[in-house]
Amino acid sequence: MFSLFLEQLLNGLQSGVMLFLMASGLTLVFGVMGLINLAHGSLYMVGAFACAAVAAWTGSFWLGLVASLMTAALAGALVEMLIIRRLYNRDHLDQVLATFALILIFSEGTRWVFGSFPLFLSLPDFLTGTVVVGSSFEYPIFRLAIIVAGLAVAAGLFLLIGKTRLGIRIRAGEADRGMIAALGVDIDRLYTFVFALGAALAGLAGAFVGTTQSIQVGMGEPVLILAFVVIVIGGIGSIKGALVGSLLVGFTDTMGRFLLPYAFATFLDPSSATAIGSALASMLIYIVMALVLFLRPSGLFGTEA
Amino acid sequence: MKGIKTTIAAAAALLVAGAAQAEPVKVGMITTLSGGGAGLGIDARDGFMLAVKQANNPDLEVVIEDDQRKPDVAVQLADKMIQQEKVDVLTGIIWSNLAMAVVPSAVAQDKIYMSVNAAPSQLAGRGCNANYFSVSYQNDNLHEAAGGYASSAGYEKAFILAPNYPAGKDSLTGFKRFFFGDVTDEVYTKLGQTDYAAEIAQIRASDADHVFFFLPGGMGIAFMKQYAQSGVDKPLIGPAFSMDQGILGAVGDAALGVKNTSNWSKDIDNPTNKAFVESFQAEYDRLPSLYASFGFDTANLLLSAMDKASISDKDAFRAALRAADFDSVRGKFTFGPNQHPIQDLYVREVVKEGDVLTNKIVGKALTDHSDAYASECSM
């Protein structure tokens, strides 16, 4: 039972770290540019498809990973320059409408290029298999690798935002875009960069997840919903909030799915305990979100509007 | 005088010929051609159109529309096809929730509906209808076969897993109907879930001797890839949906050796099936899937009825469909009293042929199997 519990804790951490890659880009774009980008999930899909296509073509997962980063960043930069740029001064509703159109364009475009059948992406050999600790604990290597890679990206992002000149500009842009433009910072280029950065993170998440899931058109939207839950919990615009929110959602979801059926089984018969437990587990993160919104309407780390 | 006689004779001959020649039949196909799960609809359409092309019957006209896997879109399309296009027969729906939104009202308007896949229990039992024919199966069939196979293979403790929605619950009920061992764990996952770490950890900790899972489409791909990487080695059994041709390529070698139950396989040994597999490959440059085989059978059943009866005589046409006088790729094919098939169900194993992953029949799970709801149908 202890090793099962430990395994579930690691699973929660892994799922949280994965979510952070998605949510950080989303929250960055919203914080800096004030833009609601529904097409963030499409960039995640673009990353996964690029990784699978290049990996199949060259036989190397690593080239695929590089391709996913570059393709998603490029797609992000293009979309920002061609379309998103016109939306900054518009109403949120216009932004939602335009980026929703982008979802449709990306989905059908991807289908046009790759067809309707899911693609295959496999892990490099040394990431397959499991690590065995002691006699009873076993954990898949690829999930450990995702945890490590995700935490490394998170650390890099905090350094970038907190310690570099670019990070200062990004934070300044978040605080007062008129002022930093007046100080001579090329705001257009900064916005394109931030958008491409968010896109690259989403693409990277897509490539990681593609190794364990099905790479298919429409794969981005379910993750997008979770990412929105994360940034609402964490406070819109806050990277720290995105990290805490991601981990909270990851742990809540995993532990809920694991523990709730047991909890109900203590006073219900097994089959209705499973049914009620799993139904409640799938609602749990939304319940948490509602609670957070009730207690702190602007999220855990959000600034008061 | 002689001239008039010849004219009358010619007119009479024409009339006779007209009666023998079937009236044109217009088919409306509503299926999923875009969005998630489009692969299934595309396969069903391609199988159907292959049979139409081979028959080359000028009296058959097919209109195809994309339901985007959305019930509201499917309902609109059905209304349009019935009211504007004036179709005689509807077909093509892949998903049970869409079928429930479209079929009851279509058959009530006296349109014939032939299912290429979705066959929810509601339409097999008390809700059966003379205008509704399921060419594929009844939804529970493959799960029942999996239960039957698990029992006969000597498994005693089952870990069973399905998404938390009506078809998922039907699936586990179907499995338990024919599995006579103990079910140690029964787990429902979120519909559309893509990470199964928590469930796989439970499988690892459980003392079950095998796992039955029903996770169609992308969910199954994700589950099998993660399961193969997890180091858990309890054998997997599932219905054909997660091991079907369209997605095996995306699962990769993780699928090798997995047992799955199906009413069709590309190696069922009969000439119709052999010709179907070859011509499908020649036409579309890929192996046919289960859904393609259902589409193909549906079109051939319809064509067989067109040869026997005219669509304007609905009773005769329905009787011709019920007779199922066509060469099915499944070999034998008959309809039960609720117009769902009575058929053999096979156990397949995922194997590699050259570089291509595919399924091979390794045994029969159930013979001449009908469904659990036929007795509730009064028709």
Per-residue confidence (pLDDT) for residue B31, from 0 to 100: 96
The CA distance from B253 to B239, in Å, is: 18
The SS3 assignment for B249 reads: helix
Per-residue confidence (pLDDT) for residue B9, from 0 to 100: 52
The CA distance from A119 to A68, in Å, is: 14
Candidates A80, A82, A11, A40; CA nearest to A253 is A11
Task: Please indicate, yes or no, whether residues B169 and B258 belong to a single structural domain of this protein.
Answer: yes
Which residues are CB-neighbours of A293 under 8 A, at least 6 positions away? Answer: A232, A299
Residues A188-227 have pLDDT tens digits of 888 999 999 999 999 999 999 888 888 888 888 888 999 9
Chain B residues interacting with chain A (CB cutoff of 8 angstroms): 33-36, 38-39, 42, 164, 186-190, 192, 194-195, 197-199, 201-202, 204-205, 217-219, 221-222, 225-226, 229-231, 246-247, 249-253
Mean pLDDT, residues A144-151 taken together: 92
Task: Please indicate, yes or no, whether residues B48 and B178 belong to a single structural domain of this protein.
Answer: no
Which residues of chain A make contact with B33, given a CB cutoff of 8 A? 116
The CA distance from A149 to A123, in Å, is: 14
Residue B366: both structure tokens together: 């159930």
Which residues of chain A make contact with B166, given a CB cutoff of 8 A? none
Q: Is residue B2 part of a domain?
A: no
What are the residue ranges spanned by the domains of chain A?
2-295
Task: Please indicate, yes or no, whether residues B230 and B147 belong to a single structural domain of this protein.
Answer: yes
Q: Is residue B7 part of a domain?
A: no
Per-residue confidence (pLDDT) for residue A250, from 0 to 100: 94
Q: First-to-last CA distance in chain A?
A: 46
Per-residue confidence (pLDDT) for residue B223, from 0 to 100: 92
Q: What are phi and psi of A130, to 5 degrees?
A: -130, 160
Q: Is residue B15 part of a domain?
A: no
Q: Which helix (H) or strand (E) holds A84?
A: none
B236-239 and B210-213: which strand pairing?
parallel
Spatial contact of A204 and A47, defined as CB atoms under 8 Å apart: yes
Distances in Å between the alpha carbon of B259 and those of A154, B313, B331, B347, B361? Answer: 41, 45, 22, 7, 9
Residue B162: both structure tokens together: 């399905």
Q: Is residue B103 part of a domain?
A: yes
Task: Please indicate, yes or no, whether residues B120 and B168 belong to a single structural domain of this protein.
Answer: no
Which residues of chain A make contact with B187, given a CB cutoff of 8 A? 261, 274, 278
Which residues are CB-neighbours of B7 under 8 A, at least 6 positions away? Answer: none
Q: Is residue B6 part of a domain?
A: no
Per-residue confidence (pLDDT) for residue B3, from 0 to 100: 53
The SS3 assignment for B90 reads: strand
A 189-228 residues inside an 8 A Cβ radius of B: 209, 211-219, 222-223
- At B370, which amino acid appears? S
Q: Is residue B98 part of a domain?
A: yes
Q: Is residue B13 part of a domain?
A: no
Per-residue confidence (pLDDT) for residue B4, from 0 to 100: 57
Whether residue A257 and residue B198 make contact (CB cut-off 8 A), yes or no, is yes
Report the number of distinct structural domains present in chain B: 2
Per-residue confidence (pLDDT) for residue B20, from 0 to 100: 44
Candidates A283, A263, A227, A274; CA nearest to A15 is A227
Q: Is residue B108 part of a domain?
A: yes
Query: In this structure, what CATH number is given to the domain that contains residue B97?
Result: 3.40.50.2300
Q: Which residue of B has its CA nearest to A114?
A: B39
Residue A41: both structure tokens together: 């999930």
Q: Which of A7, A14, A142 sits opposite B229 (nearest CB)?
A: A142
- Give A234→chain B minimum CA distance, Å: 22
Residue B41: both structure tokens together: 């609809």
- Residue A207 has, within 13 A of its CA and on its CB side, a CA count of 29
Which residues are CB-neighbours of B14 under 8 A, at least 6 positions away? Answer: none
Spatial contact of B274 and B293, defined as CB atoms under 8 Å apart: no
Q: Output the average pLDDT for chain A.
A: 89
Chosen from A141, A257, A278 to mutate, greatest number of chain B CBs within 10 A:
A257
A 129-188 residues inside an 8 A Cβ radius of B: 129-130, 138, 140-143
Task: Please indicate, yes or no, whether residues B119 and B154 belong to a single structural domain of this protein.
Answer: no
Task: Please indicate, yes or no, whether residues B234 and B194 belong to a single structural domain of this protein.
Answer: yes
The SS3 assignment for A199 reads: helix
Q: Which residue of A has its CA nearest to B289?
A: A117
Task: Please indicate, yes or no, whether residues B127 and B93 belong to a single structural domain of this protein.
Answer: yes
pLDDT values of chain B reduced to their tens digit, one per residue, 379 residues: 455 555 555 555 444 444 445 579 999 999 998 776 788 899 999 999 999 999 999 999 999 999 988 999 999 999 999 999 999 999 999 998 899 999 999 999 999 999 999 999 899 999 999 999 999 999 999 999 999 999 999 999 999 999 988 788 889 999 999 999 999 989 988 888 888 988 999 999 899 999 999 998 788 888 998 998 888 989 999 999 888 888 888 888 889 999 999 999 999 999 999 999 999 999 999 999 999 999 999 999 999 999 999 999 999 999 999 999 999 999 989 999 999 999 999 999 999 998 899 999 999 999 999 999 999 998 8
Q: Which helix (H) or strand (E) holds B252?
A: none
Domain containing residue B329:
22-137+268-335
Asked whether residue A69 carries a pLDDT value surpassing 90, the answer given is yes
What is the pTM (predicted TM-score) of this model? 0.82
Which residues are CB-neighbours of B79 under 8 A, at least 6 positions away? Answer: none
Per-residue confidence (pLDDT) for residue A101, from 0 to 100: 95
**Strands of chain B, DSSP E:** 25-31, 60-66, 89-91, 112-115, 132-134, 157-163, 182-189, 210-213, 236-239, 259-262, 334-335, 341-353, 356-369
